[in-house]
Amino acid sequence: MGASQKSPWFVHPALLAVALLYGGSYSIAKIAMNGYVPPFAFALLRIFFGTALLWLFHALTVKEKVTDRKDLWLMAKCGLFGVAMNQLLFLKGLSLTTAVNSSIIMTLIPIMVMVFSYFFLKEALGWRKVGGLLLALAGAILLLYKKEFGLSASTLQGDLFNFLNAASYAFYLILVKPLMQKYHPLTVIKWVFFFSCFIVFPFSITDLFTIQWSTFTGEVWGSLVYIIVFTTAVVYWLNVITLKYVSPSIVGVYIYLQPLFASLVAVLFFGELLLQKQIIAAVLIFSGVYFVSFSGKQKTKTEPQTS
């Protein structure tokens, strides 16, 4: 099913849910990572337990088997680019640069998705799609930009890791798209997570043994559950479901809603003030997402070539 066909009603609500769940995660994840769980151990816990949940749910519902070993190889590559590199490069990069730099660099993901879609999936670029992406990008940068943003020698390595993380996740959205036409989304994502476990394990196992589990409070456990269940298993599952019906460019542009929702969570639950720039950014982001999502039929020149 190509992106040119009318998508089911649940696709855009699902993408909104992904952005909302991720938006809340920025504040919630800090609870567990604030002296309780080291970054790489955090990534391993997310991926390991996320894998267990996906395999259990798949066994109880779909029970579909992969029919071609070449597809397993492609799923392994998706696990490398979409989960393992995504987690490790982001966490490593964040430790070597500023949170502001990381946030700004992450705004490059939808742009990379659109470029990769053009070259690998032969997805046509229209003025509404490009214009909508630029509107949403402007809104995200307005929302995220602070005076302390800056590229320097001291943050160069971390900024590079975050750039590579953005590129790897964008490439994952392109790689996984053809698998959606052949298998149930749960079948795909359970194998993607399965392979990513083996990649992340050697980088994270040492940090895992440093965790002092007895010091965990109820809030810390709640933070871990939220991140593992909702922003790992549920979010990745919803993303691959939507990729069955819409193009990676549409999935990518919804990323711009994440910092907006993160700001709203901070305003509603953490007492931060609602600023004028946040309102302007919201208008720009929602306008951009609308233009990209409803930019008309998306033509393709040839069949996707990603494997």
pLDDT at 307: 36
Element counts in the chain: helices (H) and strands (E): 14, 0
d(CA 225, CA 106): 25
Q: Are 185 and 62 in contact (CB under 8 A)?
A: no
Looking at residue 62, the DSSP 8-state letter turns out to be T
pLDDT at 147: 56
Per-residue pLDDT of the chain (307 residues; tens, 9 = 90+): 434 456 788 999 999 999 989 877 767 887 888 889 998 999 999 999 999 999 999 999 998 999 999 999 999 999 999 999 998 998 888 778 776 677 778 888 999 999 999 999 888 888 888 999 999 999 888 877 765 555 667 788 988 998 999 999 999 999 999 999 899 999 999 999 999 999 999 999 999 999 999 999 999 999 999 999 999 999 999 999 999 999 999 999 999 888 888 777 777 776 777 778 788 888 999 999 988 987 755 444 434 444 3
Strand, helix or coil at 123? Answer: strand
pLDDT digits (tens, 9 = 90+) for 223-237: 999 999 999 999 999
Strand, helix or coil at 196? Answer: helix
The sign of the CA dihedral 174, 175, 176, 182 is: positive
d(CA 194, CA 50): 9
pLDDT digits (tens, 9 = 90+) for 1-41: 434 456 788 999 999 999 989 877 767 887 888 889 998 99
pLDDT at 117: 92
d(CA 32, CA 38): 9
pLDDT at 301: 45
d(CA 148, CA 200): 32
SS (H, E, C) 85-127: HHHHHHHHHHHHCCHHHHHHHHCCHHHHHHHHHHHHCCECCCH
pLDDT at 103: 76
Q: Are 21 and 264 in contact (CB under 8 A)?
A: no
Of 32, 35, 31, nearest in space to 210 by CA:
35
d(CA 200, CA 297): 39
